[in-house]
Structures are given as structure tokens and as C-alpha cells.
Structure 1
């Protein structure tokens, strides 16, 4: 596929998703620039005084976001970053300097290993090791028995590429304790930490309090434009600010991103538990719908979901499933699935998609989902005959 073909395909997808009347979640990328700016302008006054001066290099409204995050997570301090990739690389670099050990233990499906082009080693000079390759976070036993030393243990909560999976609270406590026994510090990749509360059964301060530092995102679940925060001890955060400058992350003005972060914390954060609860309804209905269909087999992972996001696996090529998903959106106005691919943990011949349930998805009943599955399977059969 050429770049032009790819652009046309993206335009087709965005047009179909935007026009659809029924979706399980409405992604911010499906709006126009004008709509996004208008929405931000309409809501920003509710979370910050718009007569305040614009921010410069992290003061003003950016500082307010930092204070709010530290308050929510119960940490001494927090620093705003333009990207989570930068925040997390800097956190691990700072811990390596403090522990004297540049080895980071993490899952091979974690974000730094899969989505950052080897930046931990290429940019930070760090080395990574994997206590487990199972599609879940490591156990305390695996941490204790791992044959190599490491200075930092990174835990991605939830582990996205394994299906947004989480351990139980006691298991998480045990893993952290095992790392402490090895004199390692613990860092939480909490890009989606906000929605972990229902499954873990603990509040954000107690979850964040397990670790020495935590990173959170403002756009993945909260609907912000961009941006992230690194939270933890004041001394660590101060050092991270220095490295943020060195990495080119001291942006002159960031008030659009900061305002959207405050809006997400104010409006979306309180609603996440309802999304998590309804994701279980949607996932159960998907499993039932596929079980009653002509599809040879299917998998919802995990079932039930641990957060408001989960995976669905089907034994078809991604091209067939992507086309079937698009035709369903275009011809019926219902978006059940978006993009399919050969996932990092799926076997050959199987495609995977991520399902997110947010405000729009609360309107779907189990019956709605099963009907949409039946409809989707029909499109799969039609497209499959064309290929």
C-alpha cells in the first residue's frame, strides 16, 4: 500500500466512524480541529480561570495540573511532560543513577519494549531483562527467583498488549514486596492507571503508594489532547525536571494540553468506574454472540475485562476483518470494532482488536451487542467470499 492509499484508507475509516450513530467509544481523533478547539473552549472555563495569564515553561495552568495529579495520587510532587515516553524514560534513567544499577526488569510486552524503538538502551543507556514472558505481569515467585540483579522493576498497569490485564491486589503487593527484597525500586507505568481502581479495589493513592514513582497519561483514558505526568518523591521529580529540559521537554506554552488534562480529571475520571462495569456487559455479550454465530471460534481477553478495555481474537486475516468492520460502520451506522491486526501475543492466522467502552457505549444493551455481532459476522462472510 502506498502512502496515498494509506491516507485514503485512513480518511475512509475516520469518515465512517464519525458518521456512525452508534459507537462503543468516540475517540478524540475522530473529530475535526475546529470541533476539538470548540469543545475545549466551551469547557475550559469550568476548570480554570481563562483570564489567567498563559503559561510559560511549566507555570500557571501547567503547575495546577501537576498539583492536582500529586493530590490525586498522594505523592509529594508531580511534573508535567509532553509525552509519556519521555516521562518514563527519564524516570528509569533517574532511578538507574540513584540505585547504581542500569538494569530494568519489565515485561517483554510492556510499552518501552514494544512501542519505543529500543529507546531505553539507545537513548538512556539502560538494559532490560524479562522475569516472565507469560501474557500477564510477573509473579512474586518469578521476581524472587530471577537469576539476574536489576535496579528497577517496571510494572505496566494494566498490561495493554496482553489484553489490558491486571493482577489482584494481594498479588500486586507480593510482587512489590519481592522487588523490595532484592533492593530494587518499583516504577508503575500507569498510562491507564486511572481505570485500575475497580479491579484492584483500592483508591489511587493506595495504588500509587505501592511504588517509588508512577507515570500517568492524560489522553489515553481521560480524553486530553496530549501530555503525561511523572509523580513521586519531590527529590526525584526535581531531578526529572532537569532531565526533561535536557530531553527538550520544556515546552514554551502548553495550556491547551493542560486545560484538556484538567477537563479529563474533572469529567472523565469520575465516570471511569461506570465504563469498567459496562465493559463486562459488552464483553459477555460479544462472547455469547460469537458462540452462537458461524465463526469457528473466538476469544475475549480477558473475560471478564479488568478495565474498560479488552481484546477480541478471531481466526481471520486482518484485511478481511478491517473491511467487514468498515462496511458495518458505513452501511449500518454501528461501529462494533475498529482496527484489527496480528497482535503481539496472538498465534499465526489470528487477528486481534482492542475494544474500548466509554460514555457512548453505556447506551448499548447486551441485546444490542449480540445483534451487532450477528450483523458483523454477516459482513465477514460477505467480504471473505470477495477475497
Structure 2
């Protein structure tokens, strides 16, 4: 059950999550200093797209990279390539993987790939879950952080162990790194150091980075060349992708150095939520800029009260509430530039009201 608070949320001038309004100003800002004579990319070729692909491949420590209009397309293609290389249409991921719950079974219907669910929905998958697989799989997908359980992360030591085990077993390890940039402060590792543990990597440019849309899929040169063929088959080679690429490049440069600040702000914000009776965050101490807020009251009681708080403070807490279990509801917070725009006295008032729910 989901209760939408979108109407009251959208009317608020300030929001706890994100980098500000997703309106046409995002595009206008990215384009304000672009040379109007700059040539566009054409069907995946041209300096605009090739230079950006090379830039991100280097940051991720991979031989090559290819830009996609969506991560959904990129990841389905990555898993198809590994299925073909291993001659095995079975792969494995967490029960709450984006591919399992948000993509209308695209992996199964379009690629006839059969996912095996690792572990249980309420916790992270572990090395023991992978070792317990009863049948061979072509690949294992890890989502870092695991969004649907509050953005939790395994230890880096366990990631190393998973990587070594998969390599020894001939299993490709793919990273759903939609929020890769946001986890580097917790691990105290560079994106390259994290990605070195994986055979292929997907990253997004519209989540923490805040661009319009777009994704990169990276790996070795042969892998990326296969991915480019599949991108054409999927219709991903639009005649030009430059609005997405220029936006991704602009906001990447603008925000990549802010991830430590977002992480520290998320921890402080979580402390304030946890100080309210009947409220807790998952995880209690965030491991990225993301966490979930749980209320020990039913959704039909909390929803109207949050709408009142939106109206009274001018701060949007969330546009959605989700029922987690009987008498418990929650929403997600992802800290970005938007939090910095809220004055401390306004935040203080917000949490005074939350404490009285």
C-alpha cells in the first residue's frame, strides 16, 4: 500500500531529498555555457559521446564504457552478454533488486534470463548466500547500496571475498552502481577501487548527480563492443543523445566532489529523525546519503499529518509513504543540494512537529 503526498510535497519550496526541482532549469543550467556550434553525436559516434565515455571509463578503472539513455536497458544488456558468454541463462540477485520489482520482468520477457533470488528481502545478500546456490549461474548482480532496505552496504572485506569467490567459480560479477558515487565516502575507496572487484559496472547520472537522465555501462573492451551492438538492437542509439550527455557531464563535475558532504549531512539528519518518539531510520546510521524513515503508526494516520507539516513549514519531507508492515509506514531520504537551502530554524521547527506525531 502506498499513500501519495505528492500534491502537498510539490507545493513546498524546500525539500529534504534531492538536488532541487526537476524542471526545465536543470537543462538550462547545464547548457548555459555550451558553444552553440558544438557538433552533436550521431548514432553513438562523435566527440561529445566518445570523450564522455572515455572520461567515465577512466574514473571507473575500466577499459571502455558506453553511454545509455537508461540503466534498465544497460543492465539487461550486461546480463545478456554474461549469459551468452557462460552459455547459461540463469543469474542471481537480491529479491528486491530493481530488475526484479521495477522493470515489469524485462529481463525475463526480453532476454529469457531466469533470476535466482539470493537471501531474503529484509537483509543484504551475503557470500554465504552465493556459496549456497544449488545450480550454476552466469552472473551475480550486486546493488550497492541496496536501496529497498534503506541503502545498506556490506563491508568492503565481504565485497572482496564475494569477488574472489565469483572469479574462482567462473561467475561474472556485475555492479548495479546506480548510486556508486554516493558510497565512496563510507568505504573510503575510490570508484575505481570499488569497480576493480566487478567484471562489469553500471552507473547512473540522474540520482545523486542530478542530471536529466542517462547511464554508463563499463567493462573490458570486448564486453563494451558487444554492449554497443545490443544497444543498437534495443533502440538505444538515438540519432543524438547529447542533451543527456552534456547534462550528465556538467552535473557530474558539479557534484562529484560533494558526496562526502551529502554523507555527513545524511548522518546528522538521521540523528534528528531517531530523536523523535516512534520514528527510526534504517539503517540507524546511514552508510551513504540515503536512508529510510520508519514510523510506528499506520499510513492513514501519518499521511495527513505529514501533509500538514509540509504546509506549515514549507519543507517537503517526502512525496510518498509506503506501508512496511501492519501499523508501520516509511519513506526514503536521499540527501543532496536541496538540504543546504533549508535554514536551521526551519529544520528545527520541522523536527519539533515530527516529534509530536
Same fold (TM over 0.5): yes
Matches within 5 A, 1:88-237: 88-237=75-224
Q: CA deviation at 1:320?
A: 3.7
Correspondence for 2:303: 322
Residue 74 of structure 1 is aligned with which of 46, 61, 65?
A: 61
Residue 252 of structure 1 is aligned with which of 239, 264, 274?
A: 239
Residue 57 of structure 1 is aligned with which of 34, 43, 46?
A: 43
Write the distance in 2 (CA, Å) between the matches of 1:174 and 1:161: 23
Q: How many residues align?
A: 353
Correspondence for 1:13: 9
Kept after mapping to 2: 8 A contact 1:65/1:261? no
Kept after mapping to 1: 8 A contact 2:8/2:311? no
What is the DSSP-based 3-state SS (H/G/I as helix, E as strand, rest coil) of the residue aligned with 1:90?
helix
Write the distance in 2 (CA, Å) between the matches of 1:31 and 1:244: 27
Correspondence for 2:30: 40
Q: TM-score, normalised by structure 2?
A: 0.92
Q: CA deviation at 1:168?
A: 1.1
Write the distance in 1 (CA, Å) between the matches of 2:268 and 2:225: 44
Greater Cα offset, 354-363 or 61-70: 354-363
Q: CA deviation at 1:51?
A: 2.8
1:311 aligns with 2:297: no
Residue 24 of structure 1 is aligned with which of 16, 37, 42?
A: 16
Report the structure, 1 or 2, having the larger strand content.
2
CA separation of 1:127/1:26 partners in 2, compared to 1, >3 Å: closer, same or farther?
Answer: closer
Write the distance in 2 (CA, Å) between the matches of 1:365 and 1:144: 50
Q: CA deviation at 1:249?
A: 0.6
What is the DSSP-based 3-state SS (H/G/I as helix, E as strand, rest coil) of the residue aligned with 1:89?
helix
What is the DSSP-based 3-state SS (H/G/I as helix, E as strand, rest coil) of the residue aligned with 1:123?
helix
Q: CA deviation at 1:319?
A: 4.1
Q: CA deviation at 1:57?
A: 1.3
Q: CA deviation at 1:198?
A: 1.2
- Unaligned regions of 5+ residues in structure 1, if any? 1-5, 292-296, 381-387
Residue 340 of structure 1 is aligned with which of 321, 325, 329?
A: 321
- Unaligned regions of 5+ residues in structure 2, if any? none
Write the distance in 2 (CA, Å) between the matches of 1:134 and 1:177: 24
Kept after mapping to 2: 8 A contact 1:285/1:366? no
Structure scoring higher RCO (CA < 8 A, sep ≥ 6) equals 2
1:128-178 deviation per Cα after TM superposition (whole angstroms, max 9, x unaligned): 112201533322222112222211010001110011111111011112222
1:81-130 deviation per Cα after TM superposition (whole angstroms, max 9, x unaligned): 01000000000000000011111110001110111111111111101112
Kept after mapping to 2: 8 A contact 1:283/1:304? yes
Kept after mapping to 2: 8 A contact 1:285/1:370? no
Q: Cα RMSD between the aligned structures?
A: 2.1
1:210-248 deviation per Cα after TM superposition (whole angstroms, max 9, x unaligned): 000000001011011001010000100000110111111
